[in-house]
Structure formats: C-alpha cells, structure tokens
Structure 1
C-alpha cells in the first residue's frame, strides 16, 4: 500500500482540516438520497430465503440442553462416585434449566403470530414465567436437597445454558456446509 502523496495525489485532509460545511456535506447527501421502496418477496423468494437461513427448532435446543445435563451428571457420577450424590445435584442443575426452557418453548410455539405486538407481549410473558420457574426450582433444590453439591449444580447449570450458543454455532456450520464452503 502506498501513500497518496507518493502517487502524486494530495493526501486526504483530516477531520480537523475540513471546515464545518465540508464535514457535514456527506450527511446531507445521504439525507437527500431517495429512500428505497419496500418490495415484498414472492413466495419463491421467501422459500429460497428460508432455505438459505434454516431455523433451529426450540425443541431441539431444549433436547440438546437435556442431553448436556445428563452427560455432565454422568461425568460427576463417574469421577465423584455414585456415593457422593454430586450427580444428583448435577441433574438438579439440568432440571433448573431444561424444565423452564421446555415450558417456554411450548408456550411461545402457541403464540398468535398475526399481531406483532401481541406476539412480543406473549414472548415477554413466557420469558417472565420461565425466569420465575427457574428461580423457584433453584430454591426448591436448595431447600430440599440435604447433600447439595454446589459445584456440580453450577457447572451443570452453566453447561446447559451454554448449549444455546452451541446451537447457534452449529446452525452457522450447517449453513456453511450447505453453501459448499
């Protein structure tokens, strides 16, 4: 890459060298530009768009969270021993994540999609229900589990929560693989 002055061109002035009118000229040009008209998609274009951007089913994400929770609980059972009850704490941590997420996935799937504001309100209500149920389940586990292993519970809870990010990464890899990259 060469410097503009080396090619015989004058270097671009810095923002401090431009006067006020020149600095705002680019903004004025954008404001005067003609806005593009909205063009609805044809059914074929919409189907092609859906094929290029596949969705991950909430049910699959919840199932992946459950599998992750059981896998971490089995690891606790193998390494801490069956007598330590850490694997039960791990299963409890998985339940604190999976049960509220499954309920929310069920509820959001039944939302009316005709009115956007109603769907958004319904989503917020189900999110609130999910959070309250997760807190209640966590409180119940703490109260009724006498030999609670906090490390097992928290590691499993965090592991199950991170499955959401893994699902997004997995979706991106599937899309790249289908595109041939």
Structure 2
C-alpha cells in the first residue's frame, strides 16, 4: 500500500505542477520510508528463527536503529540525488507514505470486525 501511495502521489504532483523535480522529491520522500521499512520487515521475518528471546530483542533494536539511520541518510542525500529538490514535496511524500501504516491498520481492524 505504501508503494502505491508513493507512486500515485508523485505522479499526481508531477501532473498537477508540471515540475518533475517536485514529483521526484515526493517519490524520494516515499522511498525514504519504503526501503528502510522493507529491510526492517525482512529482518523481523529472519528474527523469528532465533531461539533465544534475548537475541530476538537485541536483533529487533539493532534493526530498528538501522531503519532510523537509513531513513535519515536517505533524507540527507536527497539534495545530492535530486536537482531542484523541493523540501516541501519531499516531506509531504515522507509523511503521506509513513501515515499509510495507520490507514492499513485501521482498514485491517474494520475488516476483522465485519467478518
């Protein structure tokens, strides 16, 4: 769902504003959420195989730290990657994509109540 929102929102910004840098900024904001979250989720799946609960907890915190550091790094390199970067579009793409966690959780809760 996050990928769809990031791509669609970047496409809408690109079409409405006719400024490719704004669309790329919006997409990079979404990418700054999607890539770290994907890596974190992959790590959590692998973590399920750990026998020791202490190792699992430590692994969780290490991968959460990796996720945060990668997110900050992606946001920091954005001006070097996108010429004419729009910080407003970047942050809007970031926040919009990040909020999809809540919307997904909400839809999941509604779906489970109706069943």
The corresponding residue for 1:106 is 42
The corresponding residue for 1:59 is none
Which structure would you say has the larger Rg?
A: 1
The corresponding residue for 1:71 is 8
The answer to whether the Cα contact below 8 Å between 2:33 and 2:98 also exists between their aligned partners in 1 is: yes
* TM-score normalised to structure 2 length: 0.92
Q: CA deviation at 1:145?
A: 2.2
Which of 75, 79, 85 is residue 142 of structure 1 equivalent to? 79
The corresponding residue for 1:97 is 33
1:168 partnered with 2:109: no
Which of 146, 149, 159 is residue 96 of structure 2 equivalent to? 159
Structure with greater proportional helix content: 2
1:121-140 equivalences under 5 Å are 121-140=58-77
Q: CA deviation at 1:114?
A: 2.7
Higher relative contact order (CA 8 A, sep 6+): 2
Q: RMSD of aligned C-alpha atoms?
A: 1.3
The answer to whether the Cα contact below 8 Å between 2:25 and 2:90 also exists between their aligned partners in 1 is: yes
* TM-score normalised to structure 1 length: 0.60
The separation in 2 between residues aligned to 1:145 and 1:85, in whole angstroms, is 7
1:42-61 equivalences under 5 Å are none
Alignment length (residue pairs): 114
Gaps of 5+ in 2: none
* 1:10-54 Cα distance to aligned partner (Å, 9 max, x none): xxxxxxxxxxxxxxxxxxxxxxxxxxxxxxxxxxxxxxxxxxxxx
The separation in 2 between residues aligned to 1:79 and 1:125, in whole angstroms, is 41
After TM superposition, the runs of 4+ consecutive aligned structure 1 residues lying more than 4 A away are none
